[in-house]
Structure 1
């Protein structure tokens, strides 16, 4: 990589801070302070709040070169980089002390740090009403978002990084160095499960009574940060007014509905019941869905569903069982959100138990359904689901349908459901699961923030 390709040259004598966003029980009832990280304030500046508490250990003061803002992905110990923030000015000066609060408020008012004409401390005041609260950790003069998804993984592996130009995403394995056994030194960087921030320097540190050489990980992160091919040229974070406009126009996914109120965003039973209700509400539209979205997953089988279908819940323990006597079709649908495939680890030839998908397959092929000649098997999953075709048994039988495929179809034909009660709520509930990342907490945080800055109080 030559100098012309460098976006931002990382100082080898400083540290890279990895800061995890949108996690923890705190977000269940409060506005996450990190929501400001990717939003421009009224004065056009970006300010960064470092989780947790906004503070850092004093030994890291003035040592942070770049902050990588990350969130959880659907892969264990693997995080998606949302942005890099650099050219930093540190704003917090100690750890939750009264004197720091005084400096914070002075800085906020001197720089008129507002969002929709509301001072940042007023937005988060109701969270804690804490005299020691910290509202801002850094001012970032430069914030860049990735051109395509970038993931960093702490999983122990010997796999090669995925960073060629033709790939749809970038995946960097930070734990790819081999551990030096029987010594007090290791090259592996283990992620601290409870920590929301990690400091990576071009040096050795002590971790769990061993010496950790961070230099290789530092170099990998440095490569990501500096590579201009990975980052948008301009700061693409949005201004508050843009976000409010999107929210009010209904073009974002921060809508709050009954599923949020009863805290059932991950409840498979609720979603399966909604599928049955919506599928049955407009048989003609569902036949179009079956004959296009579902049919496209089978090249050799013809799915021609008639409008005289019957749909049942928990028939033979299946989530949805659809029978069509007219055209002799039977459709089995298993719906998964957070759970995996029960018994999938028992898919061995010498095992009698083949798992739940095999049981549904066997049930649909039993004598009671001998009349139905055309049999189709599907599994509905959120886009962030880790379930893949290799998990499905019998092989080449079940096909995966992403929630985004379901959402796209019903959104396209939403006018056909104008008179169907709760159809909009159905779409909003689906919409929370069509991202490649499980980001419901992120959506909820943004919604609360928007409502707070719109409030005159």
Structure 2
């Protein structure tokens, strides 16, 4: 039997993308070229070991979700390999570069009207521009996950990989062979050929001025505080305090405190509680988590339980109705699971998407509040099921490079 393979290629990973100037070459994978073709750049470096030449049935474009879970972004099928490694030295790399450069020019490989060779992905003097041409690149209809750990919830779009103990933290490429990894190949092959999992094909990039402006960095990213829990807790406290009527409605609709009053106090870091609110009848404990787990310090073996006991003994609050909440990004499933497992009945997880939905819907209650739009922009990035910061930054850099290329071409 002929050996066939499916390649799982992980995108948006590594320190390379953290640099201000580096654009991830893999961004081209999810956009159709101006000439109507679909091209794939296989990470890293655009090359594969020669033992895999002409064996691929499909490529699954993916990103890491967690140590044991990977999200499938798209599938590439109908593959034509364009870059072939013959040796492993610099001479071979230079040859691949020249072949790719010629292909880019002869086939008018442009994105947003700019030649691929003129987009500064990094070392373009020796870059392997394209690894494959694909008949189709189809995006996932909704998030598809493959995992090495048994899923906590029964999700029809989460697939447990048989015989895989863990995903490599180093490699961005995983090959699954119909001979060496029969069960895994079979599962992925079935996934690829299940029509209900897949949505729209990739489209050309819209590098208009409006698109570029709509993807501007928000102020939390500018000051490098987009994952800072202290800063977000300060923001929440500021917004809660800025419109008592607004918070009263938030308490009624989202926190279940139907009798919350218009007059209340807000305390930050009261006995280490992130945010405490009290109106004389009720007290609300809010613990805000972004990327960290529940117990930030070794001595805090049960952080949330400790806060509950503090309120139960506090003369100012012990006779009040107590509500406990953990504000958490939608992608931080570990904290959500831990709260549900260990603190059910006392604390409720409030995903950032629910917080965003309310404050976006009731903008009219905050029309005079300074920095309100910036607040919404800051929390919106944490409403995704996956922390896709590097993907967003790569897209913004790609747009900026295309606009810069157009500017120089017009001069």
Provide the TM-score with structure 2 as the length reference: 0.89
Secondary structure of the corresponding residue to residue 252 of structure 2: helix
Task: Give the CA RMSD over aligned residues.
Answer: 2.5
Output the CA distance in 2 between the equivalents of 1:290 and 1:309: 12
Conservation of the 8 A alpha-carbon contact between 2:117 and 2:124: no
Conservation of the 8 A alpha-carbon contact between 1:48 and 1:140: yes
Residue 229 (structure 1) shift: 3.0
Please say if 1:65 is aligned against 2:57.
yes
Instruction: Indicate the residue corresponding to 1:355 in structure 2.
Output: 302
Output the CA distance in 2 between the equivalents of 1:372 and 1:246: 54
Change (3 A) 1:404 1:86: same
Residue 345 (structure 1) shift: 11
Please say if 1:113 is aligned against 2:109.
yes
Instruction: Indicate the residue corresponding to 1:49 in structure 2.
Output: 41
Output the CA distance in 2 between the equivalents of 1:281 and 1:160: 39
Instruction: Indicate the residue corresponding to 2:203 in structure 1.
Output: 238
Output the CA distance in 2 between the equivalents of 1:160 and 1:259: 33
Instruction: Indicate the residue corresponding to 2:358 in structure 1.
Output: 409
Output the CA distance in 2 between the equivalents of 1:246 and 1:378: 38
Change (3 A) 1:361 1:122: same
Output the CA distance in 1 between the equivalents of 2:260 and 2:165: 54
Provide the TM-score with structure 1 as the length reference: 0.81
Please say if 1:171 is aligned against 2:126.
no
Instruction: Indicate the residue corresponding to 2:339 in structure 1.
Output: 391
Residues 169-318 of structure 1 aligned to structure 2 (within 5 Å):
169-174=156-161, 176-177=162-163, 188=164, 190-204=166-180, 214-232=181-199, 234-235=200-201, 237-241=202-206, 244=208, 247-248=211-212, 250=214, 254-295=215-256, 302-318=257-273
Change (3 A) 1:434 1:93: same
Conservation of the 8 A alpha-carbon contact between 1:384 and 1:434: yes
Compare 132-141 and 143-152 and name the one that shifted more. 143-152
Compare 268-277 and 258-267 and name the one that shifted more. 258-267
Conservation of the 8 A alpha-carbon contact between 1:330 and 1:372: no
Please say if 1:25 is aligned against 2:15.
yes
Output the CA distance in 2 between the equivalents of 1:370 and 1:310: 12
Please say if 1:433 is aligned against 2:398.
no
Output the CA distance in 2 between the equivalents of 1:390 and 1:191: 23
Output the CA distance in 2 between the equivalents of 1:12 and 1:223: 19
Output the CA distance in 2 between the equivalents of 1:217 and 1:104: 33
Instruction: List, as ranges, runs of 4+ consecutive aligned residues in structure 1 with deviation greater than 6 Å.
Output: 343-346
Unaligned 5+ residue runs, structure 2?
none
| 1:324 aligned residue (265, 274, 279) | 279
Conservation of the 8 A alpha-carbon contact between 2:144 and 2:158: yes
Output the CA distance in 1 between the equivalents of 2:212 and 2:8: 33
Secondary structure of the corresponding residue to residue 129 of structure 2: coil
Residue 372 (structure 1) shift: 4.7
Residue 257 (structure 1) shift: 2.0
Residue 368 (structure 1) shift: 2.1
Unaligned 5+ residue runs, structure 1?
1-10, 178-187, 205-213, 296-301, 347-352
Change (3 A) 1:42 1:142: same
